[in-house]
Amino acid sequence: VVALPYHAAAERDLVVVAFARRGGTLGIVRMPRLAPEADSAADSSSVRGHNVALVLEDVRTHEPTSRAAVAARTGLARASLTTIVPELIAAGLLRDSSAALGSRGGRPVSPIEFDGSGFGVIAVEVTVSDIAVESVDLAGRTLRADSRAHGRPLADPESIVAVATRLIRRHLDFLANTSVHFELAVIVMPAPLIGSPPIVMASSDLGWRTVDLVGLIVAEVPELEGRALLVNDANVAVIAESRALAADLGAPATDLVYLKSLTGIGGAVISGGRLIGGANGVGFEPGHVLVRPGGRSCVCGRNGCFFAEAGPEAVLETAGLGELAASAGVAVAVSELVNRAHAGDPKALQALRNVGEILQAVIVDLRLMFDPQCVVLGGYWADVFDDFRIRDDLGLADSHTLKVAWSEIDAGRISPFVVPGRLGARAARAGAIRFAIDMLLAEPLSFGR
């Protein structure tokens, strides 16, 4: 770990850079110095906020735990903890735990754990067919969940907003009736977002051009003013999948490519522990990259896009499910495709193998571009992963230069290299909830206000 002065003139902040042993940056954190100028009220309050967040994060990670263990891990003085812990208990973010942690020098240890049951986050997930709304507390426990079909009213955000606001109101009432303080709503869209605060750039699934979705919802539910975030589904899904993968591996998943298909094709990349956003937040939209020059025409106006060649509509047509998709919707037809593949239906399996071939080529390209530890396939692709028969050596011949080179530099890679997502269709919502909670808990002194 190397610490460098971040701002030479003020010398108030530090940048901590962690390097992996084989080179490459693991993470960069800008943090206030822990010993502030005595006469600077602003500094001292930001350091305090930082220390409070540090304690909270440590207890969340290690609960149930003792005050002494928190002090040892965070490097904070026991005296600081004797003020911070009671304050967090009074705020409803920590509580005394009934777990037994043994004794210390003959005195019983009184453990603490994370609480957060008095504060609520509402996650709103818009898909091509439904709106799902889930209320959770800050420990991520589900308090209530509802889902409604919105009937896919093409090019008509208002009627989708109407369904969403009805459900959100019901959840706000529910939280109020159960004495849970509403903190934040996080709205998940399967579409590229642009700008700050973000708006929907376009949705080919819903026939939208730019739509200020949060603005439309806040106009109907003013309680959400300043308390609503809009996130892209794949961007939060990759966060959830990277944590699930890291928990399984017992090692950080800092470099991942996530590709998913449900009613379209989406994806996200984590590189060096950071989500790739690009200059405008639309840095990785794999659905419209070219996979076959002069191929099928695509909704975006080009030909031979990944979506046009291997998206759900193309696959359903090959599998003989085009009519079902037209009458019952793509989502219903995709789940029928999965059922048929599992039952061994030859047309369904052939359609999936066609996708598998294209996926394999796309994955080789992505490996060349991002050098990920592994590629995670989500959405329905996770359910039919075995049917793709994607080879871990990516189908390259033994003499292939790339294969030879990769086999020599496999140090950072996770085996197998291509894996199905752990969280299935819930990945986006789970990631959005986690993202919202982490954001709130990063500033624990502003709670309940």
Instruction: Output the smallest distance, CB 303 to Zn ion, in A.
Output: 8
Select 303 or 350, whichever has its Cβ closest to Zn ion: 303
Contacts of 285 (CB under 8 A, 6+ apart): 192, 266, 267
Stretch that binds Zn ion, among 181-189, 297-305, 336-344, 398-406 (CB under 5 A): 297-305
Tell whether residue 288 is a contact of Zn ion (CB under 5 A): yes
Cβ(436)–Cβ(229) under 8 Å?
Answer: yes
Single residue of 138, 206, 298, 348 touching Zn ion by CB under 5 A: 298
- Distance in angstroms (rounded) separating the CA atoms of residues 71 and 437: 24
Cβ(171)–Cβ(146) under 8 Å?
Answer: yes
Locate tokens 């909270």: which residue? 56
Select 69 or 305, whichever has its Cβ closest to Zn ion: 305
Select 95 or 302, whichever has its Cβ closest to Zn ion: 302
Select 186 or 298, whichever has its Cβ closest to Zn ion: 298
Single residue of 194, 300, 332, 364 touching Zn ion by CB under 5 A: 300
Instruction: Output the smallest distance, CB 382 to Zn ion, in A.
Output: 23
Stretch that binds Zn ion, among 22-30, 68-76, 123-131, 304-312 (CB under 5 A): 304-312
CA angle in degrees (0–180, nearest 5) for 388-393-394 = 50
Cis peptide before 416 (omega within 30 of 0): yes
Instruction: Output the smallest distance, CB 289 to Zn ion, in A.
Output: 8
Q: Structure tokens of 354?
A: 């066609």
State how far the alpha carbon of 71 is from the alpha carbons of 59, 76, 80, 107, 116, in Å: 11, 5, 9, 18, 21
Q: Structure tokens of 195?
A: 């700008």
Select 14 or 300, whichever has its Cβ closest to Zn ion: 300
Tell whether residue 265 is a contact of Zn ion (CB under 5 A): no
Tell whether residue 289 is a contact of Zn ion (CB under 5 A): no
Select 302 or 413, whichever has its Cβ closest to Zn ion: 302
Instruction: Output the smallest distance, CB 267 to Zn ion, in A.
Output: 14
265: closest CA among 295, 231, 233, 297?
233
Stretch that binds Zn ion, among 242-250, 266-274, 302-310, 332-340 (CB under 5 A): 302-310
Instruction: Output the smallest distance, CB 144 to Zn ion, in A.
Output: 38
Locate tokens 């009519």: which residue? 323
Select 227 or 302, whichever has its Cβ closest to Zn ion: 302
- Distance in angstroms (rounded) separating the CA atoms of residues 377 and 419: 6
Select 139 or 361, whichever has its Cβ closest to Zn ion: 361
Question: What is the footprint of Zn ion within residues 348-407 (CB under 5 A)?
Answer: none
Stretch that binds Zn ion, among 49-57, 285-293, 320-328, 411-419 (CB under 5 A): 285-293
Cβ(253)–Cβ(246) under 8 Å?
Answer: yes
Contacts of 445 (CB under 8 A, 6+ apart): 48, 49, 52
Contacts of 355 (CB under 8 A, 6+ apart): 310, 315, 381, 388
Cβ(310)–Cβ(323) under 8 Å?
Answer: no
| Residue 134 CB neighbour total at 10 angstroms | 23
305: closest CA among 352, 241, 261?
261
Instruction: Output the smallest distance, CB 361 to Zn ion, in A.
Output: 17
Tell whether residue 201 is a contact of Zn ion (CB under 5 A): no
Q: Structure tokens of 385?
A: 């992963």
Tell whether residue 305 is a contact of Zn ion (CB under 5 A): yes
Instruction: Output the smallest distance, CB 216 to Zn ion, in A.
Output: 26
Question: What is the footprint of Zn ion within residues 317-336 (CB under 5 A)?
Answer: none
Instruction: Output the smallest distance, CB 428 to Zn ion, in A.
Output: 22
Locate tokens 């500033």: which residue? 443
Total number of residues binding Zn ion (CB under 5 A)?
A: 5
Select 292 or 426, whichever has its Cβ closest to Zn ion: 292
Instruction: Output the smallest distance, CB 287 to Zn ion, in A.
Output: 7
How many Cα atoms occupy the beta-carbon half-sphere of 323 within 13 Å? 1
Select 157 or 287, whichever has its Cβ closest to Zn ion: 287
Select 171 or 288, whichever has its Cβ closest to Zn ion: 288
Instruction: Output the smallest distance, CB 311 to Zn ion, in A.
Output: 9
Stretch that binds Zn ion, among 66-74, 88-96, 120-128, 303-311 (CB under 5 A): 303-311
Select 298 or 414, whichever has its Cβ closest to Zn ion: 298
Stretch that binds Zn ion, among 118-126, 284-292, 356-364, 388-396 (CB under 5 A): 284-292
- Residue 114's H or E segment, with its range, is strand 112-114
Four-CA torsion 261, 429, 97, 103, nearest 10 degrees: 30
Enumerate binding residues for Zn ion (CB under 5 A).
288, 298, 300, 302, 305
